[in-house]
């Protein structure tokens, strides 16, 4: 008779197919080789179809995502009711199929305070972001993680340093596992039309910095450079005004023929085809930045902002550049380096070599599963 495989529950607060969702789906095949896996999501979305395709059980419960409105007088009570219902769902799963290990895919999870009461199993929390909240709220939230987490997986050196400085008692439970990206073919070469094609992939959100990239494109255009900026991504329904503001900025700068809004796409490889360089103009530190690693995997140089996760990915001047936050002029000058075909080719080749060596899904998944096994065997 075969021994029962450990039951791993994966908690994910979103399912829209962006960074953290893609990272957990990428790791599921490796998890399934060792564990009986149940993914419990706070909402439905395209990521769950991909999760089901791996063979994992998938359940959607009440919304347990930690959102800003949770901390408002109007939002707290409804959110608390949803969280209580989600914890009850988790208890039912445990009674039906005892849970041996809980893996929390991101810190934006409101279940954490009650998690150990609902399920008496070790908890691994994955820190993928540097929350843009007040220092006091961060200290409270990571204080909860300190009480709940058996191990904390950080996706970059920067994230681990942030956690250690905020909550020193977590330092000895932190391990760094850089995220991984799917193997991509080298992007199709750019057209030889004298235009710099700049690609920017990510949700339309103030923190992702598309407005700074538009300002950089305006400076480049005013200086006589010919650019096309390709924005891939959409906005959350509650942030519809963000996309409207970006269109207004394009119109204000007269860049209607320069900036192209493509919307959301799940076809990662095609977004990088025929591009010259990738821009990751975030206005707040990225925990890791999957799109930076993806761009390098596709043989594109990358210009990102920092300090943050991209410091683990980009070798300064070799695979791209890291510039300061909210600095449109610095972003313009760094991207303009890629107008030189020799620089563009050098960045692209070196970036692809680095991505294949350090940021593959296989490397990431194996390292993450090793950490899960280590917690279970401790």
Residue 210 confidence (pLDDT) above 50: yes
Q: What is the pLDDT of residue 357?
A: 97
Closest Cα partner for 218 from 243, 255, 260?
Answer: 255
Q: Read off the pTM.
A: 0.91
Q: Which of 127, 122, 89, 123 is nearest to 108 (CA)?
A: 127
**Residue 64 in this model has a pLDDT that exceeds 80:** yes
The class level of CATH for 196-358 reads: alpha beta
pLDDT above 70 (res 215) = yes
Q: Is 116 helix (H, G, I), strand (E, B) or coil?
A: helix
Lowest mean pLDDT among 55-69, 271-285, 286-300: 55-69
Q: Is the pLDDT of residue 319 over 60?
A: yes
DSSP state of 46: H
Helix 290-297 with 19-32: angle, nearest 10 deg: 70
Question: Is residue 307 reached through a cis peptide bond, with omega within 30 degrees of 0 on the bond before it?
Answer: yes
113-166 pLDDT tens trace: 999 999 999 999 999 998 876 688 889 999 999 999 999 999 999 999 999 999
Q: What average pLDDT does this structure show over 63-85? A: 84
pLDDT of residue 236: 82
Distance CA 110, CA 334 (A): 39
Report the pLDDT averaged over residues 98-127.
96
Residue 339 exposed, middle or buried by CB count within 10 Å (0-12, 13-18, 19+): middle
Domain with CATH 3.40.50.2000 in the chain: 7-180+360-377, 196-358
pLDDT in tens, 345-361: 999 999 999 999 999 99
pLDDT, tens digit, for every residue of 156-204?
999 999 999 999 999 999 999 999 998 988 888 887 889 999 999 999 9
- In the predicted model, is pLDDT for residue 232 greater than 60? yes
pLDDT value at residue 1: 43
pLDDT band at 39 (very low <50, low <70, confident <90, very high): very high
- pLDDT attached to residue 133: 67
Question: Using one digit for the tens of pLDDT, what is the confidence trace for 243-281?
Answer: 999 999 999 999 999 999 999 998 999 999 999 999 999
Beta bridge partners of 154: 127, 176
Distance CA 227, CA 225 (A): 6
Q: Does domain 7-180+360-377 have CATH number 3.40.50.2000?
A: yes
């Amino acid at each position: 008779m075969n021994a029962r495989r450990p039951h791993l529950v994966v908690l994910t607060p979103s399912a829209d197919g962006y960074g953290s969702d893609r990272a957990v789906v990428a790791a599921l095949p490796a998890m399934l080789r060792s564990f009986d896996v149940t993914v419990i999501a706070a909402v439905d979305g395209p990521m769950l179809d991909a999760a089901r395709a791996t063979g994992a059980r998938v359940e959607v419960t009440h919304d347990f995502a930690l959102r800003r409105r949770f901390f408002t007088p109007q939002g707290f009570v409804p959110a608390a009711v949803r969280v209580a219902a989600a914890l009850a769902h988790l208890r039912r799963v445990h009674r039906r199929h005892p849970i041996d290990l809980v893996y929390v895919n991101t810190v934006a999870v409101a279940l954490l305070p009650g998690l150990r009461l609902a399920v008496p199993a070790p908890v691994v929390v994955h820190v993928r972001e540097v929350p843009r909240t007040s220092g006091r709220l961060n200290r409270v939230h990571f204080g909860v993680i300190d009480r709940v987490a058996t191990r904390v997986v950080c996706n970059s050196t920067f994230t681990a340093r942030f956690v250690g400085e905020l909550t020193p008692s977590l330092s000895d439970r932190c391990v760094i596992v850089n995220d991984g990206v799917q193997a991509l073919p080298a992007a199709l070469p750019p057209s030889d039309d004298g235009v710099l094609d700049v690609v920017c992939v990510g949700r339309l959100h103030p923190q992702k910095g598309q407005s700074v990239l538009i300002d950089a494109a305006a400076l480049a255009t005013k200086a006589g450079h010919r650019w096309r900026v390709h924005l891939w991504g959409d906005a959350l329904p509650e942030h519809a005004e963000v996309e409207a503001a970006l269109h207004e900025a394009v119109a204000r700068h007269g860049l209607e023929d320069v900036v192209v809004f493509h919307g959301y796409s799940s076809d990662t490889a095609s977004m990088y085809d025929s591009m010259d360089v990738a821009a990751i103009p975030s206005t707040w530190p990225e925990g890791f930045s999957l799109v930076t690693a993806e761009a390098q995997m596709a043989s594109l140089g990358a210009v990102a902002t920092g300090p943050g996760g991209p410091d683990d990915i980009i070798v300064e001047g070799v695979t791209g550049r890291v510039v300061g936050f909210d600095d449109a002029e610095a972003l313009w000058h760094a991207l303009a380096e890629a107008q030189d075909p020799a620089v563009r080719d050098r960045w692209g080749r070196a970036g692809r070599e680095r991505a294949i060596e350090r940021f593959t899904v296989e490397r990431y998944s194996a390292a993450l599963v090793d950490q899960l096994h280590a917690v279970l065997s401790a």
